[in-house]
Structure 1
Amino acid sequence: MSHPILDSHWSRFLGPNPPDPHQYKYIPHDRPVFESPFGPFPPSPEDLNIHELCFPPNNPLPEDYPLIINAVTQEVVTLHQFYARACALARVFRHDGPNPLNLRKSPVDDREDGEILGLFSRNHIHYPSIVHACWRAELVFGGISPASTPYELWWVLRKMQITSIMIHESLVGILKEGLKLGTGDKDDLPLKLVLDPKKVVVLSEDPSLDTVGGYRTIESLVRQGMRMQERRRRRTMLGGSRLAYLFQSSGTSGLPKAMMITHANGYHSGIQTLTTAVQGARFMGMEPFATPIVTLGVIPMYHSYGMILWNLRVNLLRNTTILLPKWDLELALQSIQKYKVTALPLVPPLIRQLAQSPLTEKYDLSSVLGAVSGAAYLPPDVAYQLAQKLPQGKDMPIPSGYGLSEAASIASPTTPGIFGLEPAMPGSIGYLLPGMEGRVVDPDTLRDVKKGEKGELWARGAVVTPGYFKDAKATSDIFTEPGWLRTGDLVMRDECDRIHYLDRLKEMIKVKGLQVAATEVEDTLLQHPDNLVQDACVAGVDNGRGDGSLFVRAWVVLTDAGKRVGEAGVTGKLEEWVKNRLSRHKWLTGGIEVVDEIPRTPSGKMLRRQMRDKYHARLKAEGRAKL
Structure 2
Amino acid sequence: MILRSPYPDVEIPEVPLPEFLFGAGFGDRGDAAAFIDGATGSSVTFDELTGMVTRIAAALHERGLRRGDVVALFAPNSPAWVAVFQGVLRANGIVTSANSLYSPAELAHQLTDSGATMLVTVSPFLDRATAAAAQAGLPDDAVVTLDPVDGRTSLVDLLGSSATPPELEVGPGDTAVLPYSSGTTGLAKGVVLTHRNLVANLLQFTPLGTTDETTRILAVLPFFHIYGMTVMMNHGLHRRATVVTMPRFDMAEFLRVVAEYRLNRLYIAPPVAVALAKHPLVDEHDLSCVDVIFSGAAPLDAELGHAVARRLGCVVLQGYGMTELSPVSHSMDERHPDDDLNGVGYAIPNVESKLVDPETGREVGPGERGELWVRGPNVMSGYLNNPSATAATLDADGFLHTGDVATVDERGFFRIVDRVKELIKYKGYQVPPAELEAVLLTHPGIADAAVIGVSDAEGEEVPKAFVVVQEGVTLTADDVMAFVAERLAPYKKVRVVEFLDAIPKSASGKILRKDLRARENA
Q: Normalised by the shorter chain, which TM-score bucket?
A: over 0.9
Equivalent in the alignment of 2:2: 33
Equivalent in the alignment of 2:204: 272
- Going from structure 1 to structure 2, the CA distance change for 1:39 and 1:588 (only over 3 Å counts) comes to same
Question: Does the 8 Å contact 1:93/1:139 carry over to 2?
Answer: no
User: How far, CA to CA, are the matches of 1:582 and 1:88 in structure 2?
Assistant: 60
Mapping for residues 203-282 of structure 1, pairs under 5 Å: 203-204=146-147, 209=148, 212=149, 214-224=151-161, 227-231=162-166, 233=167, 237-277=169-209
Equivalent in the alignment of 1:556: 467
The correspondence for 2:449, drawn from 536, 558, 567, is: 536
Equivalent in the alignment of 2:17: 50
User: How far, CA to CA, are the matches of 1:485 and 1:154 in structure 2?
Assistant: 28
The correspondence for 2:44, drawn from 77, 85, 107, is: 77
Q: Indicate the SS of the match to 2:176.
A: strand
The correspondence for 1:335, drawn from 254, 257, 264, is: 257
User: Could you list the per-position Cα deviations for residues 41-98 of structure 1 after superposition, in whole angstroms to 9, with x for gaps in the alignment?
Assistant: 21412xx11010111257757441111121221211111111100000111223xxxx
Mapping for residues 56-67 of structure 1, pairs under 5 Å: 56=23, 62-67=29-34
- Residue-pair matches, total: 521
User: How far, CA to CA, are the matches of 1:614 and 1:58 in structure 2?
Assistant: 53
Question: Does the 8 Å contact 2:418/2:434 carry over to 1?
Answer: yes
Equivalent in the alignment of 2:382: 467
Mapping for residues 481-520 of structure 1, pairs under 5 Å: 481-520=396-435
Return 574-583 or 365-374, whichever deviates more: 574-583
Equivalent in the alignment of 2:514: 609
What is the CA-CA distance between 1:229 and the residue it aligns to? 3.3
AA aligned opposite 2:397 = P
User: How far, CA to CA, are the matches of 2:25 and 2:299 in structure 1?
Assistant: 42
What is the CA-CA distance between 1:247 and the residue it aligns to? 0.8
- Going from structure 1 to structure 2, the CA distance change for 1:104 and 1:194 (only over 3 Å counts) comes to farther
User: Could you list the per-position Cα deviations for residues 161-198 of structure 1 after superposition, in whole angstroms to 9, with x for gaps in the alignment?
Assistant: 22221112211111233356x4xxxxxxxxxx453443
Question: Does the 8 Å contact 1:38/1:276 carry over to 2?
Answer: no
Question: Does the 8 Å contact 2:26/2:240 carry over to 1?
Answer: no
Equivalent in the alignment of 2:125: 171
Runs of 4 or more, structure 1, over 4 Å off, are 57-61
Return 309-318 or 248-257, whichever deviates more: 309-318
Q: Indicate the SS of the match to 2:79.
A: coil
The correspondence for 1:144, drawn from 98, 110, 123, is: 98
Q: Is 1:301 aligned to residue 223 of structure 2?
A: yes
AA aligned opposite 2:365 = K
Q: Indicate the SS of the match to 1:130.
A: helix
What is the CA-CA distance between 1:544 and the residue it aligns to? 4.6
User: Could you list the per-position Cα deviations for residues 138-158 of structure 1 after superposition, in whole angstroms to 9, with x for gaps in the alignment?
Assistant: 101101001101221122222
User: Could you list the per-position Cα deviations for residues 332-382 of structure 1 after superposition, in whole angstroms to 9, with x for gaps in the alignment?
Assistant: 222222221111111111121121112121211111111110111112222
User: How far, CA to CA, are the matches of 1:310 and 1:390 in structure 2?
Assistant: 21
Q: Indicate the SS of the match to 1:539.
A: strand
- Going from structure 1 to structure 2, the CA distance change for 1:90 and 1:176 (only over 3 Å counts) comes to closer
What is the CA-CA distance between 1:237 and the residue it aligns to? 4.1
What is the CA-CA distance between 1:558 and the residue it aligns to? 0.9
Question: Does the 8 Å contact 2:236/2:243 carry over to 1?
Answer: no
- Going from structure 1 to structure 2, the CA distance change for 1:337 and 1:404 (only over 3 Å counts) comes to same
User: Could you list the per-position Cα deviations for residues 466-507 of structure 1 after superposition, in whole angstroms to 9, with x for gaps in the alignment?
Assistant: 100111011001023431000000111122211111111121
Equivalent in the alignment of 1:587: 493
AA aligned opposite 2:111 = L
User: How far, CA to CA, are the matches of 1:195 and 1:376 in structure 2?
Assistant: 35
Q: Indicate the SS of the match to 2:234.
A: coil
Cα RMSD of the aligned pairs, angstroms, is: 2.0
Question: Does the 8 Å contact 2:67/2:169 carry over to 1?
Answer: no
Question: Does the 8 Å contact 2:301/2:438 carry over to 1?
Answer: yes
Question: Does the 8 Å contact 1:440/1:448 carry over to 2?
Answer: yes
AA aligned opposite 1:105 = R
AA aligned opposite 1:486 = H
Identity of aligned residues (%): 28
User: Could you list the per-position Cα deviations for residues 260-294 of structure 1 after superposition, in whole angstroms to 9, with x for gaps in the alignment?
Assistant: 0000001112222222226xxxxxxxxx83x6111
What is the CA-CA distance between 1:523 and the residue it aligns to? 1.2
User: How far, CA to CA, are the matches of 1:37 and 1:202 in structure 2?
Assistant: 46
Question: Does the 8 Å contact 2:364/2:370 carry over to 1?
Answer: yes
Equivalent in the alignment of 2:442: 527
User: How far, CA to CA, are the matches of 1:316 and 1:479 in structure 2?
Assistant: 29
User: How far, CA to CA, are the matches of 2:152 and 2:466 in structure 1?
Assistant: 45
User: How far, CA to CA, are the matches of 1:196 and 1:474 in structure 2?
Assistant: 31
What is the CA-CA distance between 1:391 and the residue it aligns to? 2.8
Equivalent in the alignment of 1:350: 272
Question: Structure 2 unaligned runs (5+)?
Answer: none
User: How far, CA to CA, are the matches of 1:58 and 1:598 in structure 2?
Assistant: 45
Equivalent in the alignment of 2:502: 597
Question: Does the 8 Å contact 1:457/1:487 carry over to 2?
Answer: yes
What is the CA-CA distance between 1:581 and the residue it aligns to? 2.0
The correspondence for 1:577, drawn from 483, 486, 497, is: 483
AA aligned opposite 2:163 = M
User: How far, CA to CA, are the matches of 2:319 and 2:433 in structure 1?
Assistant: 20
Mapping for residues 371-382 of structure 1, pairs under 5 Å: 371-382=293-304
User: Could you list the per-position Cα deviations for residues 397-425 of structure 1 after superposition, in whole angstroms to 9, with x for gaps in the alignment?
Assistant: x21111000000010111465xxxx9431
Question: Does the 8 Å contact 2:67/2:170 carry over to 1?
Answer: no
Question: Does the 8 Å contact 1:518/1:539 carry over to 2?
Answer: yes
Question: Does the 8 Å contact 1:49/1:237 carry over to 2?
Answer: no
User: How far, CA to CA, are the matches of 1:71 and 1:544 in structure 2?
Assistant: 52
User: Could you list the per-position Cα deviations for residues 105-164 of structure 1 after superposition, in whole angstroms to 9, with x for gaps in the alignment?
Assistant: 31xxxxxxxx21111111122111111111211101101001101221122222222222
TM-score (norm 1): 0.80
Return 151-160 or 83-92, whichever deviates more: 151-160
